[in-house]
Structure 1
Amino acid sequence: MTLTWTTQPFSALTLPELYALLQLRSEVFVVEQTCAFQDIDGQDQAAHHLLGHTEAGELAAYARLFPAGISYPEASIGRVVVSPKFRRYGLGRELLQQAIGAVEQLFGAQPIQIGAQLYLQAFYESFGFRQVGEGYLEDGIAHIHMVRP
């Protein structure tokens, strides 16, 4: 499966793009993971949004990208999500590769921090991320802080 990747600041998102990304985040983080939390957290406006669309124009993968000093002292990647409809095509790996590349292109080569769900630790380690600090619960889900030097 081939996706078309775009990265844009909040102000450049169209209303259909914004609706699609919020719908995907809600579908996965709220409904699928049965986690009632405030997804619309006031940080979208400070983020660059990485969107992976299918040839048919469907949003298949998404992540938020932040410069240093917004979510963490380091640049960061968050809300990493692949649509359930498009899983098992290796899009998670492609999404993270695209996200790391976009962070480096937008903000320069530097450490990147994430708040990862614990069960994905080995996945993120395969991209050079390493756990820093102790684990923690966020919205009832075990997480760890990880940094890619």
Structure 2
Amino acid sequence: MSLALHWTWKRFDDLGVHALHDALALRCRVFIMEQGPYQDPDDADKHAWHLLGCDDAGRLMACLRVVDPGVKFAEPAIGRVVTAPEVRGQGLGRVLMQEGMARCRQAWPGRAVRISAQARLQPFYGALGFAAASAQYLEDDIPHIEMLWEPRSLP
């Protein structure tokens, strides 16, 4: 059973310093502390919708970003998908991605969505309708693969 979170979408300029801090801190905790150092905040953050999932106490437990088309890829791109370690295994990653995909369908109807997925997560994203769209490559010393979701992939 999935932990119920309160979901909020914000553009970068509307995040506010506290929400921005919380999002970057969670991303750092997972992407840098668990996976090794790399430059996490980038210019794509400024051109993205940010989804924040907070628990009843207001603590950020999950977040992702949806980058506008033409910034990272020709298509809109979902990335920086992260859940706090203490709430993993409760289905939040799936819910988070479904929310991100819904935002893409709403903002850019009929458009495909591209992700740069860690290769080990290919089955997870495949179950959401994404298909491999590149050979594996290294990004920050972690094997990745581009994956594409086509509008016909889900009803």
Q: TM range, normalised to the smaller chain?
A: over 0.9
- Asked if 1:106 corresponds to 2:69, the answer is no
Asked whether the equivalents of residues 45 and 67 of structure 2 are also in contact (C-alpha less than 8 Å), the reply is no
Structure 1 moving runs of 4+ over 4 Å = none
Mapping for residues 1-149 of structure 1, pairs under 5 Å:
1-33=3-35, 35-149=36-150
SS at match of 1:134: coil
Contact 1:60 1:86 (8 Å CA) reproduced: yes
> Among the aligned pairs, what percent are the same residue?
41
In 2, are the aligned partners of 1:67 and 1:107 still within 8 Å (CA)? no
Which structure 1 segments of 5+ residues have no match?
A: none
After superposition, the C-alpha distances for 1:13-49 in whole angstroms (9 at most, x for unaligned) are 121100000000000000011x211111122111110
On the 8 A contact 1:47/1:65 being kept in 2, the answer is: yes
Q: Could you state the TM-score of these two structures normalised by the residue count of structure 1?
A: 0.96
1:64–1:78 contact (8 Å) kept in structure 2:
yes
Specify the code of the residue in structure 1 equivalent to 2:108: F
The letter of the residue matching 1:2 is A
Give RMSD over aligned pairs.
0.9
* 1:94 partner amino acid: V
Q: How many residues align?
A: 148
Q: Aligned with 1:92: secondary structure?
A: helix
Unaligned runs of 5+ in 2: 151-155
TM-score after normalising by structure 2: 0.92
- Give distance in 1, aligned partners of 2:61 and 2:109: 26
